[in-house]
Amino acid sequence: MHNKTIADLAKGLRSGEFSSVELTQSFLDRIKQHSSLNSYITVTEDLALQEAMAADGRLAKGDAELLTGIPMAQKDIFCTQGVKTTCGSKMLDNFIAPYDATVVEKFNNAGAVMLGKLNMDEFAMGSSNETSYFGVVKNPWDTNTVPGGSSGGSAAAVAARLAVCATGTDTGGSIRQPAALCGITGLKPTYGRVSRYGMIAYASSLDQGGPMARSAEDAAIMLQTMAGFDEKDSTSVDQPVPDYLAGLNNDLEGLKIGLPKEFFGEGLNSDVAAILDAAINEYRKLGAEVKEISMPNLKLAIPAYYVIAPAECSANLSRFDGVRYGYRCENPADLTDLYTRSRGEGFGKEVKRRILMGTYALSAGYYDAYYLKAQKVRRLISEDFKNALSEVDVIMGPVTPGTAFGIGEKIGNPIEMYLSDIYTIAINLAGVPAMSVPAGFVDCKPVGLQIIGNYFAEDRLLNIAHRYQQVTDWHQQTPKGFE
């Protein structure tokens, strides 16, 4: 059961082959069996079975949607009413949200079953899941390696079949990079396509929630539920949501693919490059035209990102002050002590590093040199994407420079860790949508192909990914021990 796609499971639920309760129980059993992966922070067993029962009711009444009764899981960045929402931090270890994030509400309305809350880098700051207060998540393809981050729990859980699908969030690559390292399909939608309400903010102008699934088709089903304008999020865009399933099989004849030379230069592992070549060749066979393009400002993405994201996070995380909720230090002597110790003890190292960087970048006398300059760079990068996407339909390239790295390998060197997002960060700065699609293996470790499209062209991206998945089976591989 656990190897089936959403569409197949939906059929099985309707034909009576299995019930949602049975399906849910089998996933709960698997989660227990594979708890050493540490992909879940909270497993909501009772709630899941209740929801499954309700879903079975809806299915019996014929009032079900595609996601009704499907066991999935939420990244622990999305607020869930009555269920602990930690954001991977000691700061929120005791936080139970009194409301549901819009994305959670939408999955609830669709009748999806929530198995639990998934592990992640603390406040989504990290590329390896090693910054989580709840411990590192292991990559099911090689448990000595990281699953990527920050949506590492989501990627590992989907790859290990501990959830049919999962939500993720992506600020600089946090959906795509772990999707690539865990061999699953992940989509970061256009900024504004999915509501951020109830999604704990890291860098508000970059954060975007999206689907993490086995296939492009499953991602399309999830996005159908997630996408749309939300009056509670002013930055969500009021634009109709297309039928993502309708165009999945569209022909790719004449598709123009751009390959930025900046993506294929120094720093890209040659084995990974070979896999990407092969994937792009598949697209040629499907009728696509491929041309080299140039996006000269891409090299500025990492420095710009590490000014803008920390600047926003330095303000976004100010609310965690030990006053109203979350971690509060023992016996504060006075107000300053309450603040400094609650925050000093409640936040981990990487979070504190980014708050400090951001605070510095916004300080009087530095604002123009850092924040304003970074915003100018951001505009240049957006222009690069606009120009490129007026020339070609989609841009393709690597998601990560290499495959999953070892646990502990990069955590001591922040710069090296930051460079693992070199191919994904620019996309967030521009706000365009992008996907990571499984494209092969190097030494039994998955490699992802990144497909980047124009604003609100998620339907096109899903179509392009789906057609590739019709002629390849990389996305159907299962890590050993999790079959």
Report if residue 200 touches other proteins, rule: CB under 8 A: yes
Work out which of 116, 189, 198, 438 binds other proteins, going by CB under 8 A.
198
Using rule CB under 8 A, residue 226 touches other proteins: no
Q: Which of 75, 90, 106, 117 is catalytic?
A: 75
Q: Kindly tell me which of 109 and 367 has the beta carbon lying closer to other proteins.
A: 367
Q: Is-catalytic flag, 106?
A: no
Number of C-alpha atoms within 13 angstroms, CB side, residue 198? 25
The stretch near other proteins (CB under 8 A) out of 52-60, 195-203, 273-281, 469-477 is: 195-203
- Residue selected from 6, 41, 136, 201 as contacting other proteins according to rule CB under 8 A: 201
Catalytic residue among 128, 132, 150, 436: 150
CB of 411 to other proteins, least distance (A): 25
- Single-letter residue type at 395: I
Question: Applying CB under 8 A, which of residues 28, 199, 430, 462 lies at the interface with other proteins?
Answer: 199
Question: Encoding tokens for residue 81?
Answer: 């009413």
Q: Candidates 229, 339, 418, 441: give the one binding other proteins (CB under 8 A).
A: 339
- The residue among 85 and 139 lying less far from other proteins, judged by its C-beta, is 85
Taking CB under 8 A as the binding criterion, the range among 97-105, 109-117, 430-438, 449-457 that sits at the site for other proteins is: 97-105
75 among known catalytic residues? yes
Question: 176 and 450 in contact (C-beta within 8 Å)?
Answer: yes
Catalytic residue among 174, 205, 215, 436: 174
Q: Which is nearer to other proteins, 341 or 475 (CB)?
A: 341
Q: Name which position in 42, 85, 128, 150 contacts other proteins (CB under 8 A).
A: 85
Instruction: Give the one residue of 87, 268, 272, 389 binding other proteins; rule: CB under 8 A.
Output: 87
Look-up: residue for tokens 């107000």?
335
At 181, phi and psi to the nearest 5? -70, -20
Where does residue 4 rank: exposed (0-12), middle (13-18), buried (19+ CB within 10 A)?
middle
Nearer to other proteins, 397 or 431 (CB): 431
CB of 425 to other proteins, least distance (A): 17
Please identify which residue in 150, 190, 314, 428 interacts with other proteins, judged by CB under 8 A: 314
Active site residue 150: yes
**Smallest distance from the beta carbon of 426 to other proteins, in angstroms?**
18
| 425 belongs to the binding site for other proteins (CB under 8 A) | no
* Span of 143-151, 193-201, 400-408, 452-460 interacting with other proteins by CB under 8 A: 193-201
Give the per-residue SS3 of 314-355: HHHHHHCCCCCCCCCCCCCCCHHHHHHHHHHHHCCHHHHHHH
From the list 17, 233, 282, 409, which residue makes contact with other proteins (rule: CB under 8 A)?
233
Q: Does 63 bind other proteins (CB under 8 A)?
A: no
Indicate whether 108 belongs to the interface with other proteins (CB under 8 A): no
Binding mask of the shown chain, residues 353 to 392, with x at each position contacting other proteins by CB under 8 A: ------x--xxx--x---x---------------------
342 binds other proteins (CB under 8 A): no
Contacting range for other proteins; rule: CB under 8 A; set: 37-45, 248-256, 317-325, 439-447? 317-325
Interatomic CA distance for residues 127 and 130, integer angstroms? 8
Residue from 121, 122, 321, 421 in contact with other proteins (CB under 8 A): 321
**Exposed (0-12), middle (13-18) or buried (19+): which is 243, by Cβ within 10 Å?**
exposed
d(CA 277, CA 272): 9
Q: Determine if 232 is a binding residue for other proteins (CB under 8 A).
A: yes
Q: Which residues bind other proteins (CB under 8 A)?
A: 78-79, 85, 87, 92, 95, 97-99, 101, 196-201, 203-205, 231-235, 311-312, 314-315, 317-321, 323-325, 335, 339, 359, 362-364, 367, 371
Enumerate the active-site residues.
75, 150, 174
